[in-house]
Amino acid sequence: MNKLIYNEMLKLVKSKRLLVVTIIIGIMIMMFTYAQHREMENVKKRIGDTDWRVTLQQSIVDMQNRIGSSGISEEFRSQLKVRIDQSQYYLDHNINPQDPGAPTFLRVFLDNSIQLLLPLMVMIISADMVSSEKSLGTIKLLLTRPVRRWKILLSKYITLILSVSFILLMFGLFSYLISGLFFGYTGWTAPVLTGFTVEAGELNTANVHLVPQWQYILMIFGLGWFVSVVVGTLSFMFSVLIKSTAAGMGAMLAFLISGTIISSIASSWESAKYFFMVNLRLTDYLQGNIPPIEGMSLPFSLMVLSIWGLAGIIISFLVFTRRDVY
């Protein structure tokens, strides 16, 4: 088994896919770091004060003004009210929610990447792990070896898990090193509030508690890894089911993009909460954001994603071990 995994990792490295993903991650982080730096500079110029309390108070005023406008939906108005209450809670307890530093950038960047950017990077790796061997005809050579089919597929799946872990490592390492050049490398022990919940559109702070930022980052990395494994598993399943790599990637891309759309506009479609792509933003539950559909919670989303991931594994192994290869 170790030799099979080694061979799969070697093929992955030689295909340059890991290198491409690493370069994309680096470029995206540089872009977001620069954008965040410019945003901070613009805020300083507009407000004329570097005190975070003044900045946060101005943010609250801006959101209150947006609530008063007639051009926004009731759903977005409810989200703004929750964000105002959260910001006011931070202000009342003298806690800076955006303490400048590379750890804060890392936390915010992963929060915003977990639904689309991170899954896309995983999809690049996993979408052709089996289908490319079919299209090139090398799958026949693999299956003629004196190794059971399930072991061959298992070695590919373990390679996928290792690749997902590598991608998360690159996310964290590049985010910290690059953003630290602009914002500094301190802030690991900065306090972060978690435990916010939203009930009937109102913010509940009964279970709010402080955690050091390093602990919060570990939590979101754990959730990000879980989401990546599930997305990778489903992409892996498409790679087994569909011979064309482009078709498999297209199908998975369509699901991921539709998830962002459904999460934004289909709050009244209750059955949509059982779709895996609607449950990808697990970090929202740590922040206390309003779930896209009523009735969703962290345990619920974990359960839905686990079922989808398990189904993807079962289907992949059943099809791969039983299908004839021509």
Would you kindly state where each structural domain of the chain is located, as residue ranges? Answer: 2-50+98-322
pLDDT at 223 over 90: yes
Confidence of residue 131 (pLDDT cuts 50, 70, 90): low
Q: Which helix (H) or strand (E) holds 290?
A: none
pLDDT in tens, 52-87: 788 888 888 888 888 877 777 777 777 788 888 888
Residue 190 and residue 188: Cα distance in Å, rounded?
Answer: 6
Residue 307 and residue 163: Cα distance in Å, rounded?
Answer: 22
- 211: β partners: 192
pLDDT at 200 over 80: no
Tokens 């078709």 belong to residue: 247
pLDDT in tens, 133-169: 665 555 555 555 666 777 888 888 999 999 999 999 9
Look up residue 55 and give its DSSP letter: H
pLDDT in tens, 254-313: 988 888 888 777 667 788 889 998 899 999 888 888 888 888 889 999 999 999 999 999
pLDDT in tens, 23-54: 999 999 999 999 888 888 787 777 666 677 88
Residue (of 302, 326, 307, 292) closest to 75 by Cα position: 292
Residue (of 189, 206, 188, 209) closest to 197 by Cα position: 206
**289 with 240: CB under 8 angstroms?**
no
Handedness of CA 136, 21, 253, 304 (dihedral sign): positive
